[in-house]
Every structure is written in structure tokens, then in C-alpha cells.
Structure 1
């Protein structure tokens, strides 16, 4: 974990080294000030030497200014190092997430990833700054003050040693107890963020069903859980300050009492006692700073584990050593394919799938909810990898292809259509960033999206709100189809991508595909028989298995599931024909 985090310091190593350097320099200047003060009292005030007072006063001013400059420089480089460290952490997390396959993403919730990128990284940023500054300054100040105190009077300085051992043991106990709660509280943050994300994402549904009170109640429960965990942790951490104050006042009392006796016995001067009291405060303030660092580090340990978990997670699907970059054609072969989303799953999602699809064919896929239609097509572009068997595209196993090359030739319009904030042209150019406006227009004509775009005031420069909230479901689907067509793929997969489109527009889209991209293999998942009945062949899925594979006419004769779906969607047609004209 530590190695992973320190690797993200990178270009901020210089700032990370300079910060403790200046903090130690500040401590050295501050440590010399009490000696100058003792000299003023013993050799200036008590001896009546005004010149010595002036000289040592000037020395104290110079030491204070040097200490101030060192502290400012330490703060400057500490801020640079910690903010740079946080920036690199966020970049590393986000970059690694982009390499994840669907199976990797399935392990994390969206809210959990957002918490890692925000709250957890901020905790680490604060902890790193405190480690560079306080964790350097406090031990240095502690050591210097202890050394100077022992040089002045070892007997009195032994009080500090007892205090340090006592306070150190208490801090370790507090940290161990509080860590357990802090590790739990950040998991509760995930629930809190999930509640907010779900509510904002589905705000229209919440309003439509008048469920604001329910959502507020759910959010309050998540808030209360975070509150309770933090309260439990803080109840332990709060013991830190009383213990610190008890130790400080006990040391001051002990030194004052013993020091007064020694001054009377002439074994200690007034200036030395003043210096010892100053060093007493230095030592105990150093311990206080260390306790603050311990609290912050305790909180950040849980955050560090969550952040490194994402950074160290490797993608399940990667390029082979010598990848194939050219996809010969759009033919697809499934050879005894079994697939499970989890390796330890007892029941596979897809079972012994054997398929052979010729390049340029239009294949319809139909089946009930949960019959694994989407799982089947996700294997073609390697969004997931097969558990057993193989999937080939263009006669080559998909696991031998360069991922980018394969996915550029296998264009997928997913079941959940997503548009990004930006203009229509910017969204379309996700398919091809170099596409001209004319190419975008042509793709929209094929997807039957040009008709509604031309009616918009800004046409192709119309701004799409986040998530495509200012366009209808059918318009969103057509824009996503146009975006996929711009890739000019050898295989086009439409995963129930015309469900929100009226049947007439659906027919126009299918006709355009047949006329304009005849060489592209087209796989169309649909719930409506009318969307696929003109396909070259149709796959009927049932419970992760192929129940039937053939033309519309063949399946109507031989496949019970297809017959049932067809007749349920065309119900009443027989009565109409038998009765002649309708009443």
C-alpha cells in the first residue's frame, strides 16, 4: 500500500524533500531562542549589562526572522507536495478505471468510486501534508528540546522523558481503537453518496410519485449512520486533548517545584529555569502535534486502503502479447461457449452456445427477460471474456485482437443509451472524432435522426444536457445509433436500441441498414417480432441457451417460444380475418 501511494509523488519529490528540510531548519532556529533568552536573564538583566541585552536581543530577532522564513517555505512546499500528490492520486484512479473491463467495474459501486476520488483522496492529501510538516517538525522539535533540556539539567529533564513515554503509550492506544471505526465510516460514505446519486438521477420519478418524504427519510438514515460512526470514533479521539493538557500541566508543576528548590540551592539559575519551561512547552506542543498527525493518519489508513485497491486493481481483459490489429470481416463464430459473470458461480449465464454467423448477415435475437441476450453480444466485442470455449470474429479468436482495433470494428449500441453534455455534433463524433459534419448528417439520415435534428433551432449545434435529458427516449436512441454508424464497423450490435422508437421509424431504420450497409453484420436484439422478422435468421434465447435458430418462417413452424411471442404480439389478427370486415 505504502509503495503504491509513494509512487504517485513523482514530480513532487523535490517539494516533498524540501518541506521537512525547512521544517527542521525552523525547529533549529526556535531551539536556539530560549538559550539566547537565558543568556539575557543571567548575563544581562542580573549582571546589569545593557550591551549584552541589546546584542542577544538582536540575535533573537534574527533567529525569529529566520525561523519565520523557514516556516513559510516549509508551508509553501508542503502545500505544493500535498496538492500535487492528491492530483496524481485522482489521475491514477481515474486512468485505471478507464482500463477496467465490465467485470472490474461490476466490483465497485458508482458511489464508492466517487467517494474514493473525493473524500478518500482529500483525507490522504491532508495526511500527507501533516506527515511532511508536523511529522517532521514535531519529532525534530521534541529531540532538540530534549537534548537541550538534558544539557541544561538532566535531573529536571527526566520529567519530560516520563511524560513522553506516558503520552506515547496513550496515543497508540487511542489510535488502535479509533482506526476500527474510521475504517467502517468510509463504507457508510458510499451508502450516503449512493442515496444522493440515486435521488438526483431519478428526480423526475421521485416527483412524479410524490416520494420526496421517503427519499429524505432514506437520506437521513444514511446521514445518521455516518454520524453515529464518526461519533463513536471521536469519543475515543477526544481523550487525546485531556491527556495532553494533564501531561503539560503536570510537567510545568513538576519543573517549577523542583526548579525553585534548585535555584534556592544555587544548582540552577533563573535563566536556565526559564529555558527549561520553554523547552517544556516545545516538547509537549510537539507531542500535541504528533497526536494530531496520529488522528489524521488513523483516518487516512482506511482511505489509503480503498484508494490503493482501485489503483492496484488490474483489468481482467487486456491485449495479448502480439495482438492482431486487422479484422478481416464481420463473420462470427461461437464455439461451445459457456459464460459466468463470477468465476465461482455454480450456474453459468450462457450454456454451450454454438453459432456461426456469416459476414453481412442480419441476425435477430429475441427472448424473455433474463434469457442472456445482452450477455451473448457482450462477448463479441470482449466487454466480457468467455468462461469456456471461444468467440471468433473474422475467423480469429477475439482474445487475439488488439482491443481498440476489435471494438472499432464491433460497434455496440448498448441497452442503456447514454449521451454526454455537449452539442449533437460532439456526441456524434464519439463514433469518429475526425468525422465531418456531412458524414454526421449521413449517419443521422440512416438512423432517422435527421428529421428531428433539423427542426431544432441550432440543428447539429444544439446542446445536449447531461444524460440527454432534453431529448426524448426515441431521439436519444437514434442519436446513439448514428454515433455507432460513424465508426463504419464490420459488425453492428443493437441491444434493444429501438424500443422507444415507433414501428414506422423502426422499419425505416432497418430498411436503411439493408440498403446502405449490406456488408456490415447486424445483430438486432428486440422485444418486438416486427423489428426482426425480416432478418436473415433469428436466434431465440431461453435461460442462457439457444432454443431456436432460423428464419422467421422456420421458427413459426418449429419453435414453440417464437410462436407464443409472435401470436401474443399479433393477437386478434385471426378473428379479424375470419370475420371479414370489422364492425
Structure 2
């Protein structure tokens, strides 16, 4: 999975990788040539007292060293640019893929995990790219080139290399085999930490209302300790690897000095050659150590690449049609034809046998007890879910055959939990339509009964809105969400229990303004409050996912026992208020 990911995203940057390869090889060749020059200076210049030779060779070594520095800097720049570009491209694609998901896929992955995959996991792949583009070229060049150059210096001491290199490879292999499962566990623990942190931030009011700060802190502390334990075990393996590798390196150098000294004393090897051999041994072991370090990074990046690939390869249940319909034959119509919907793995469908029609300009209300499937039903209209049975038609076209952008442009949705974005009142309202004028924004606010409180805010339309709209009340949040949907100029308005935070008077005034100002807009209204739906053209009563009745308020009082129970439960709390609203 990691290989496919890298091949896919590195293809546009092959020229940068070629640059890294060229400059890294040049740097490696310079490193391999310098010990030979050093040996020449000691054996020829120093031993013979030839100052001119020393200056000539020394100047050459200085020039090569400066060239090596320049090559290393250039190669690192190319590698960093490649890695940053790769990370940008992956994040863009992951974001676009997640944006195409239905609620089913988002729930399957979890929002916390999706955030981690698009941040930390991408970062791991980036680190592997930048380190691999440098080390994976330098390491084999130093190791293989060092062996060749060492053999050219002295074949008699080469047995030390034959012993030390396998020793380092064995140590690295044992350590890395222990790290692979730990890296996978670490990413899962990180998902858990992000999930808990996100829940506590978004649910801070609930946490404080129920005095759960201590319990939530303990829950986070547990998740944080779990990731610390795994990280400590990974760190312990890192700590074990490098001292052992340095031990092998130092023992090898001692061996070179010991046995090389014997050869020098016997007159078989010159001192400069011995020093060059020692440097080549160091470069060989350094190359092997660099390769070992890369093999440590690869497992973690492989886990991250697999997690990223899962998102990129995930098929959304919202499959775009091969030949999407962009021209709708009707306007403002909604039709459910024997619709059924089941969640994956559910024993029974959430909705079953749903059949009704809404003509242009009509108001269709949906009522029912909690869990009866109201929100799921209206989610099928903008195709947030796909029906598992039957057909849903909008403007005369099956939503599964309609172009998604065209479909969504005709629908204004006010969700059960209205969400506002960080910015201003105006920027949130223009989320419905970017080219809306200030007059249109004020008109939408007036219909949504939000003009008064916006005018009182500091800055009015330019008043700041915090993330999620936490600096405004629940009722104000609902009215701003309704105004945003109105700015969108939809043919169909879907209100998913969007009046629940409003008082009875504001609720009534808002509905009257909607019916008066938008007579040709079809309105699908989910509500718990009977006073909100009594003036609807038709009311659909849901009971355990099935239609228990359909008709006007007066008709359902006579024909639907479920509807009568709902009405009576609210009439008991204040009959006159409900009757007045009706």
C-alpha cells in the first residue's frame, strides 16, 4: 500500500527525485574519495616532507569538501520540496475523498481517525520521503563504495568488514521486527487520544453541566498513558539499537587499529593506508546504520500509508451516476415511492413502506416519536443517504440519477443540529450563496426572525461567530441556519426539527413569514411541537419507521391513534396555547 501511494504521488516530481539522486551520489563519491587523498598526503607528502604536494592535495580536498557541502544542501532542498509537495497532494485528495463520503462512511472511520489520517499519518509519509530521498541513496553508496575502496586499500583487513556488517544487520533486524506491531498500536492509540479530545472540546457544556470534569480528565489520562506506554517501548528499542550499532563500530575500529598496527609494524601497510581503511570502515558501518534507520521509519510509514490508502480506496455509497441528469422536468416536487432504508448490519429497516408526494409550494410535516426515523427520512431527500429500497424523486428525477451539484442547489437543508462556521454573520449566511448582497442577507434574517438580535450585535453583519456558533444561543443559531438556507434560494426547504429552540411566538412568526414570503417553495418540516405542523397541507405520522397516517391535522385526529397520543400529550401541558397556535 505504501509503495503504491508513493508511486502515485511522486510521479509528478520525478525530476526533483532525479536531482536528489544526482547530487547525493556526487556527495557520496566525494566522501569516498577524500580518505584516499588523506592517505596520499600522509604517505607521500608528510613522509617525504614535500610541502608543495601537501598544499596541492590539501587544496583539492578543500575544494571537494566545499562541493560536497553544496551537493548535500541542494539534494536536501530537492528532497524537502518533494516531500512537502507530496504531503500537500495527499492531504488534498484525502479531504476531497472525505468530502464525498456519506454519513455512513464518516461514521465508519470516525471523525477523530479521519483527522489523524490527514495530519499525523501524512506527516509520517512525508518524513519517510524526505529521509528516504537522502538516506536511501547515500546509505548504499557509502556501504558499497566503502567496501570497494577499503578492498583497494588493503585486502588483508577486509575480514573485519565481513564480520561487522552482518552483526549490525542482525541487530537492526531483531529490533525492527519488534517495532512493526508497536507502530500500528501507536497510531490507533493516537486516534483514541484525538477522539477523546474532540469529544471533550465539543461537549464541554455537557461535561460541566454534569460535573464530569474529573471523570473526563481521568478518561483522557488513561488514553494519554496508553500512548505513552507504547511510545516508551518504541523509544526503548531506539535506545537499544544505536548503542549496539556504535559498539559494533567501535569494536571494528579497535580491530582495524590492532591488526592494522601489526601490519604497519611488519612493513606491509603504510600508516596513511591504515587511516584510510579506518575511515572507509566507518563509512561502511555508517551506511549500514543509515539503512537500518530507514528500515525503522518504513514500518511506521507503512502503517500510515495503509491507513491513508483505506480512506482513498473507500467507495462512497453516494455513487455518482454515469449519465447524470442536470435538467429537471419539474420544480419543487418531492416523491417517495415505497422507500425503505436499513443501516449496514441492522436486524430490521429504519424506514419501511414510505410513500408520499409533495407538490410545488406545499408544506408537508413529519411527526413521530423519538427514534421513529424522521431525520433519516429527510436525509434521503438531499441524498445524504441512499435508500436501500424504493425510489426518492426530487423535481421529477430519481436522486440516484441526478447530478449531485444540481440536486443540492435546489435544496435548502436546516439540520437538526445547526452548525455555524468560524467567521462573521455575513460569511455564514453567504455560505448559502456567495454573491448575496447585504440587502438579501437582511431580508433572509427578517424572515428567519433574526434581524433584531443581529442588529444588536457588535458589528451587525460583520459580528464575529465562533467555531460551531458557540458565542450565540441555540435559538439564535437555529435562526441563522434558517436564514442561511433562505439565502441559498432553494426550490425545496427541509427543516429537520429546526424550530425546537424557538419560543412559541417566534416559531409562529417565523412560519407565517415563510409561508407569506415563499409561497412557491416546497417545505418539508420535521417537528416535535404540534403547533408547528397544524397548518401544514399534509402531516405524515411515523411510528417505528412506518407511516401510521397521512392527512391534515383534523383528519389525523380522527384516523391516527399515534397522532392523537402526540397531540394529547402536548395538550395536557397547555391546551389553550396549542389550540391558539393551530
Common topology (TM > 0.5): yes
d(CA) in 2 for partners of 1:211 and 1:147? Answer: 67
d(CA) in 2 for partners of 1:455 and 1:51? Answer: 88
Say if 2:100 and 2:316, in contact at 8 Å, map to a contact too.
Answer: yes
Say if 1:380 and 1:393, in contact at 8 Å, map to a contact too.
Answer: yes
1:297-308 equivalent positions in 2, closer than 5 A: 297-308=298-309
Aligned match for 1:330, one of 332, 335, 356: 332
d(CA) in 2 for partners of 1:515 and 1:245? Answer: 82
Alignment of 1:113 with 2:114, yes or no, is yes
- CA shift, 1:575, in A, is 11
Aligned to 1:509: 510
d(CA) in 1 for partners of 2:266 and 2:367? Answer: 101
Alignment of 1:242 with 2:243, yes or no, is yes
SS state at 2:200 partner: helix
Aligned to 2:394: 393
- CA shift, 1:388, in A, is 1.4
1:278-289 equivalent positions in 2, closer than 5 A: 278-289=279-290
Aligned CA distance change for structure 1 residues 41 and 326 (closer, same or farther; 3 Å): same
d(CA) in 1 for partners of 2:401 and 2:494? Answer: 21
SS state at 2:38 partner: helix
SS state at 1:400 partner: coil
- CA shift, 1:572, in A, is 6.1
1:549-560 equivalent positions in 2, closer than 5 A: 549-560=550-561
d(CA) in 2 for partners of 1:259 and 1:357? Answer: 95
Alignment of 1:231 with 2:232, yes or no, is yes
Say if 1:178 and 1:237, in contact at 8 Å, map to a contact too.
Answer: no
1:88-487 equivalent positions in 2, closer than 5 A: 88-327=89-328, 328-342=330-344, 344-487=345-488
- CA shift, 1:254, in A, is 2.3
Q: Is there any run of 5+ residues in structure 2 with no aligned partner, and where?
A: 578-582
Say if 2:412 and 2:494, in contact at 8 Å, map to a contact too.
Answer: yes
1:485-528 CA-partner distances (Å, limit 9, x unpaired): 12222211100000001111111111122222122211110111
Say if 1:367 and 1:527, in contact at 8 Å, map to a contact too.
Answer: yes
Deviates more, 1:371-380 or 1:105-114: 105-114
Alignment of 1:562 with 2:543, yes or no, is no
- CA shift, 1:185, in A, is 0.9
Aligned to 2:580: none
- CA shift, 1:263, in A, is 2.2
Aligned CA distance change for structure 1 residues 572 and 239 (closer, same or farther; 3 Å): closer
d(CA) in 2 for partners of 1:379 and 1:464? Answer: 30
Deviates more, 1:560-569 or 1:296-305: 296-305
SS state at 1:432 partner: coil
Aligned to 2:23: 22
- CA shift, 1:35, in A, is 0.5
Aligned CA distance change for structure 1 residues 541 and 264 (closer, same or farther; 3 Å): same
Say if 1:318 and 1:403, in contact at 8 Å, map to a contact too.
Answer: no
d(CA) in 2 for partners of 1:57 and 1:459? Answer: 74
Aligned CA distance change for structure 1 residues 250 and 573 (closer, same or farther; 3 Å): closer
1:361-394 CA-partner distances (Å, limit 9, x unpaired): 2111111111110111111111111111111122
Say if 2:168 and 2:289, in contact at 8 Å, map to a contact too.
Answer: no
d(CA) in 2 for partners of 1:572 and 1:249? Answer: 86
TM-score normalised to structure 2 length: 0.95
Aligned CA distance change for structure 1 residues 572 and 441 (closer, same or farther; 3 Å): closer
Say if 1:5 and 1:308, in contact at 8 Å, map to a contact too.
Answer: no
d(CA) in 2 for partners of 1:278 and 1:406? Answer: 70
SS state at 1:380 partner: coil
Aligned CA distance change for structure 1 residues 329 and 574 (closer, same or farther; 3 Å): closer
Say if 1:12 and 1:80, in contact at 8 Å, map to a contact too.
Answer: no
d(CA) in 2 for partners of 1:139 and 1:262? Answer: 29
d(CA) in 2 for partners of 1:446 and 1:574? Answer: 28
SS state at 2:542 partner: strand
d(CA) in 2 for partners of 1:326 and 1:514? Answer: 27
TM-score normalised to structure 1 length: 0.95
Deviates more, 1:315-324 or 1:429-438: 315-324
SS state at 1:570 partner: helix
- How many residues align structurally? 575
Aligned to 1:494: 495
- CA shift, 1:209, in A, is 3.7
Deviates more, 1:157-166 or 1:109-118: 157-166
1:25-71 CA-partner distances (Å, limit 9, x unpaired): 11111111110111111112222222222211111111111111111
Alignment of 1:59 with 2:60, yes or no, is yes
Say if 2:5 and 2:305, in contact at 8 Å, map to a contact too.
Answer: no
Aligned CA distance change for structure 1 residues 574 and 387 (closer, same or farther; 3 Å): closer
Alignment of 1:543 with 2:540, yes or no, is no
1:410-438 CA-partner distances (Å, limit 9, x unpaired): 21111110011112111111111111111
1:71-108 CA-partner distances (Å, limit 9, x unpaired): 11122222222222222222221122222222221222
Say if 1:124 and 1:300, in contact at 8 Å, map to a contact too.
Answer: yes
- CA shift, 1:454, in A, is 2.0
Say if 1:9 and 1:88, in contact at 8 Å, map to a contact too.
Answer: no
Aligned CA distance change for structure 1 residues 157 and 572 (closer, same or farther; 3 Å): closer
